[in-house]
Structure 1
Amino acid sequence: MDPAPASRDDNSFFGHPKGLAYLAFTEAWERFSFYGMSGLLLLYMIQHLFTPEVMGGVLGLGQFRAVVEWVTGPLSDQAFAAQIYGLYSGLVYFTPVFGGLLADRLLGQRRTVLLGAAMMSLGHLLMASEAAFLAALVLLVVGSGLLKGNISVQVGQLYGVHEEGRRTRAFVIFSAGINAGGLLGPAVCAVLAQYWGWHVGFAAAGVMMLVAIGIYMAGRRHLPPDVARVRDAATAPLTAHEWKVIAGLLLVSLVAVLPAAVYNQEFIAGILLIEESVDRGLFGWTVPTSAFNSFDGLFCILLVPPLLMLWRWQATRGREPGELGKITIGYLITAVAQLVMLLPASRVDAGQQIHMLWPLLLFALNALGFLYYWPTVLALFSRVAPAAVTSTMMGMLFFSTFLGNVLSGAFAAWWETMSHARFFWLHALLALGPFVLALLTLRPLQRLFAAPGSPRSG
């Protein structure tokens, strides 16, 4: 189905529908809250929550640790914190599957997004209490699952089925909004936490979640209509071709698992490296470790204009990579980012401190790879997924990120047991494997996903 034709007639936001602006700014402040809280989470657990005088007051933490260690074996407090971070950052990409089902079958995207936003706001509020720590994480996980996939579906619904390049660029702009929040959230919340305490940092994240709700509500008339028509269509059986498309999309999701694990490691092992071995002095001021999370968002913003210019320049010459080609390039860049870290990691293994430019280079290359593959794969799913299961399939895509983030938490436990150079070498191999698989499957998937009447580009 070709959704929301009226929305596509509005090109008032830099040549894109005004609805894209509201969706991008909603995600910007929702991501401010998410990344602001996440940027504090690992060090908050290690430096505050898991101290002897606080840990005993966290409801359910002892029982939860027993379950985790039943699976993993005994863990140090640092390794247990890494496991929780990995599970949390992974589960927020697991629940979109159920958020997609709820939207496709019952509520539609708009109401599901608002329900998720309300749950996330409550979760941020509960972070003010150490005792409610696990309950707060559960609310944030479920709320994010209801919101995240469905708001991405709405971006795709602003464009027609043949607008492949325009839709991909829209998702890059949308991702720039996300990363504006990813830039500001960790920086602002880290400074607030450093000077006024952890809970002030968490409170700032909660306030910006409320701002996100306000923006979304203000722009509702510019958004694609809710999917009552999809619920009607859901009673019709999927065609044989649609089932093949679903299988192809699931393959793309599966290949995306390891790059997600490698990318997410900068927020776990990367932060531990910065805390332990990076000279953070800057003009007499020590940069807070958690503030480095902001550089992911910064580079994901700064690289958008030159990347869009590159793609437009390539398009004028008929050489712009197609969706699957961009995804493949992104996986290769992700692998290169890990290889670059071999030299500084070797110096750390030798007992030396390293300059902060090294982790900044890691963040920059990871951001470039991310901009090549993630907005593009979002655009691909929104374009080719059968209309009756669009939100569900978008949820399945985020499920691959869930698996990757859970794996990154598990891999982070090796940070204490193997050399840092070997750790980055292993992660380079984990990204090179998907690059090779993407190369091998590129041509057949291009043919499967080609829109009727459109050229099959790579």
Structure 2
Amino acid sequence: MNTPAHIREDRGFFGHPRALGYLAGTEFWERFSFYGMQALLMLYMTKYLLTPEVSPKVLGLTAFRSAVEAVVGPLTDLAFAAQTFGLYSGFIYATPLIGAWLGDRVLGRTRTITIGTFLMSAGHLTMAFEQSFLIALLLLVLGAGCLIGNLSAQVGLLYAPQDTRRTRAFGIYLIALNIGALVAPLIVGSLGEDVGWHWGFGAAGIGMVLGLFTYLAGRPHLPPDHFAERTAHVPLDRNEWTVIGAILVTFLPRLLGTAAYQQAYGLMMVWADKAVNRNIGSFEMPVTWIGTFDGLFTILGVFVANALWRMWAARGREPNDLLKIAIGEAMAAVALIYIGLAATLAQVPLLAWILFYLILGLCYGWLDPPQRSITTRYAPVRMVGTMVALLSMAGSLGYFLLGWLGRFYEPLGAPLYFMLLAALPATASAILALFNRPLLRLLGRAEREHEAELAAPYEA
């Protein structure tokens, strides 16, 4: 690592380099804008953009819809909105592959992130005009691809390989991310629902502009860019291919689960707008505010999962990472079955809807951390970055499947649709439970044969 010593030894931000504060601040605004957009997108499309009065004004929308329907078949307006939501979210998690390449080999991370914040700022501000809706989505996808991955990579570069502050730094970074996710529905969602859609998107755009200024202000404190050197290609051996194949099998549950429980931020928002009694006295809670509860429950879920694992570890009963993911997927299936049953009520009480997000939030601690642990622990060292990127792609494909599944919501109705979605994480859980031991044998053999290589410090 060639980060200057004065940056590595800087303790001007709560005992960490000052650059961490600027990077965490940038991530706060990026997540503020992203989750603000996610909270409004389905409601905006179904209640405004796709109405007969507005949709003809949107540049390229007819051609885009024709192209989508040429691939997936005829769609109702609601199904088309769900498909668009899935495509947008999926590409958000696919383009970081390109962003990482630009940051590593072409432009450098600092320049790539600067371009990404500019593109996202432009995208959110462009959303304030319905005519440029598709252009705005494209700008947001490209901008997110430049930011995701490169920002966290710069956090890691602030520290020497053995600096124990690194883990705590990512904790601070994660807190900033989650605060942005908590605040966004309250500000962006409220403005969009209660004042005007364009006010909400405009607020997200202003947030991203503040993120751009935050990053630019921190550039003097950031580590210099160093481009990755091209090395001679060394073919993977048979053992490496075996472990890669085993890891890829563990990605399938992520794909299936994403397609199911991420519906909670798309179609479920449209359903809840009419089906959930959100009255608290004389005040009606905006439907987008559920994102704040979800963020709180997700943080709670991580703490609860870690506490349980420590307790079980002390008794020698902690499940392995594959079983942890299986438990998380099973919890997600339970959450979807529960909300499917609740949806049979004429009006769903607000607390009943919030309980769904509590169950869902508790399951997340069992899903992502163990999956990342498996991927970074067992993948061949020279393939870790690629395998992490492929993990992101599994989530991306899950979003694409989510969009395609949206066509079944109207013919099935909400109760049956939500309960049938539960089959996806239930299947994912069953796959991991059934193939737990064979997969562990394959991964364990690879770990033993590459013990010296895998023990070397991995720098993101």
Superposition TM-score tier, normalisation by shorter sequence:
0.7 to 0.9
8 A contact 1:95–1:395 mirrored in 2? no
- Counterpart of 2:458 in structure 1 is none
Residue 282 of structure 1 corresponds to 280
Could you report, residue by residue, the CA deviation over 1:138-175 in whole angstroms, capped at 9, with x for unpaired residues?
Answer: 110111122213334455667899999x95x8767644
Note if contact 2:123-2:135 (Cα within 8 Å) is conserved in structure 1: yes
> In 2 relative to 1, CA 236–75 (structure 1 residues): closer, same or farther, beyond 3 Å?
closer
Higher relative contact order (CA 8 A, sep 6+): 1
The counterpart of 2:325, out of the listed 324, 327, 346, is 327
For 2:283, the aligned partner's letter is W
Write out aligned runs for 1:215-226 (5 A): 215-218=214-217, 226=225
The 1:417/1:289 distance shift into structure 2, 3 A limit, reads same
Give me the TM-score of the superposition, normalised by structure 1: 0.84
- For 1:13 and 1:381, locate their aligned partners in 2 and report how far apart those are by CA, in whole Å: 31
Residues 1:415 and 2:409 aligned together:
yes
1:63 is displaced (CA, Å) by: 0.9
Is the CA contact (8 Å cut-off) linking 1:69 and 1:75 kept in structure 2? yes
Residue number in structure 1 paired with 2:150: 150
1:126 touches 1:136 (CA, 8 Å); kept in 2?
Answer: yes
Tell me, yes or no, if the aligned pair for 1:100 and 1:391 is still in contact at 8 Å: no
For structure 1, which segment, 378-387 or 246-255, has the greater mean C-alpha deviation from structure 2 after superposition?
378-387
**Equivalent position to 2:251, from 250, 253, 259:** 253
Q: Alignment partner of 2:53: what SS?
A: helix
Number of the residue aligned with 1:210:
209
C-alpha distance in structure 1 between counterparts of 2:24 and 2:312, whole Å: 26
The residue aligned with 2:61 is 61
Unaligned stretches of 5+ in structure 2? 456-460
Asked if structure 2 preserves the Cα contact closer than 8 Å seen for 1:44 and 1:198, the reply is yes
The Cα offsets for residues 181-236 of structure 1, whole Å up to 9 and x where unpaired, read as 222112211211234311111111112112333444455677676453xx225434
Deviation of 1:327 after TM superposition, in Å, equals 2.9
Match of 1:127 in 2: 127
Name the stretch that deviates more: 373-382 or 92-101: 373-382
- Work out the number of aligned pairs and report it: 446
CA drift at 1:355: 0.6
Q: Distance in 1 between matches of 2:442 and 2:2?
A: 24
Seen in structure 2, the aligned counterparts of structure 1 residues 163 and 294 have a Cα distance that, compared at 3 Å, is: same
Aligned to 2:182: 183
**1:360 alignment partner, one of 340, 354, 357:** 354
Contact 1:300 1:371 in 2 (8 A): yes
Partner Cα separation in structure 2 for residue 15 and residue 122 of structure 1: 35
Q: Which residue is 1:397 aligned to? A: 391
1:28 and 2:28 matched: yes
Q: Which residue of 2 aligns with 1:141?
A: 141
Q: Aligned match of 1:232 in 218, 229, 232?
A: 229
Cα distance in 2 between the residues matched to 1:13 and 1:384: 34
One-letter amino acid matched to 2:341: L
The separation in 2 between residues aligned to 1:118 and 1:205, in whole angstroms, is 13
Once residues 313 and 329 of structure 1 are traced to their aligned partners in structure 2, the CA distance between those partners, rounded to angstroms, is 17
Q: 2:440 aligns with which of 440, 443, 455?
A: 443
Please state whether the residue corresponding to 1:52 is helix, strand or coil: coil
Does the C-alpha gap of structure 1 residues 127 and 261 become closer, same or farther in structure 2, counting only changes over 3 Å?
Answer: same
- Checking the alignment, whether the CA contact within 8 Å between 2:128 and 2:198 is kept in structure 1 is yes
Query: 2:420 matched to which residue of 1?
Result: 426
Tell whether the 8 Å contact from 1:26 to 1:215 is kept in structure 2 after alignment.
yes
Which letter maps to 2:203? A
Change (3 A) 1:122 1:445: farther
Q: Deviations over 1:245-295 (max 9, x none)?
A: 544443333331011111211012321221121111112111122222332
Distance 1:267 1:56, change over 3 A: same
| Per-residue deviation, residues 308-330 of structure 1 (Å, max 9, x unmatched) | 44445555566555544433332
2:177 alignment partner AA: I
Query: How many angstroms apart in 2 are the aligned matches of 1:427 and 1:359?
Result: 17
Deviation at 1:46, TM superposition (A): 1.6
Aligned counterparts of 2:147 and 2:139: Cα–Cα separation in 1: 12
Do the aligned partners of residues 105 and 380 (structure 1) sit closer, same or farther apart at CA in structure 2, a change above 3 Å counting? farther
Tell me if the contact between 2:38 and 2:265 (Cα under 8 Å) persists in the aligned partners. no
CA offsets 1:61-91 (integer angstroms, 9 cap, x no match):
1111111222333322222212211211111
Does structure 2 conserve the Cα–Cα contact (< 8 Å) formed by 1:234 and 1:388?
no
Tell me, in whole angstroms, the C-alpha distance in 2 between the residues paired with 1:170 and 1:324.
27
Question: What is the rounded CA distance, in whole Å, between the counterparts of 1:378 and 1:353 in structure 2?
Answer: 39
Using the TM superposition, name which of 104-113 and 181-190 deviates more: 104-113
Provide the residue aligned with 2:70 in structure 1: 70
Partner secondary structure for residue 422 of structure 2: helix
SS of 1:74 mapped into structure 2: coil
Which segments of 5 or more consecutive residues in structure 1 lack a partner in the other structure? none
Please tell me whether the aligned partners of residues 179 and 296 of structure 1 are also in contact (alpha carbons under 8 angstroms).
no
Distance of 1:410 and 1:51 partners within structure 2: 21
Aligned residue type for 1:251: V
The one-letter amino acid of 1:294's match is T
Indicate if the aligned counterparts of 1:104 and 1:389 stay in contact, CA closer than 8 A: no
Instruction: Kindly provide the amino acid, as one letter, of the partner of residue 189 in structure 1.
Output: V
Distance change (3 Å), C-alpha of 1:110 and 1:383? farther
Percent of pairs with identical residues: 41
Question: In structure 1, what residue type is equivalent to 2:41?
Answer: L
Aligned residue identity for 1:396: L
Moved more, 49-58 or 105-114: 105-114
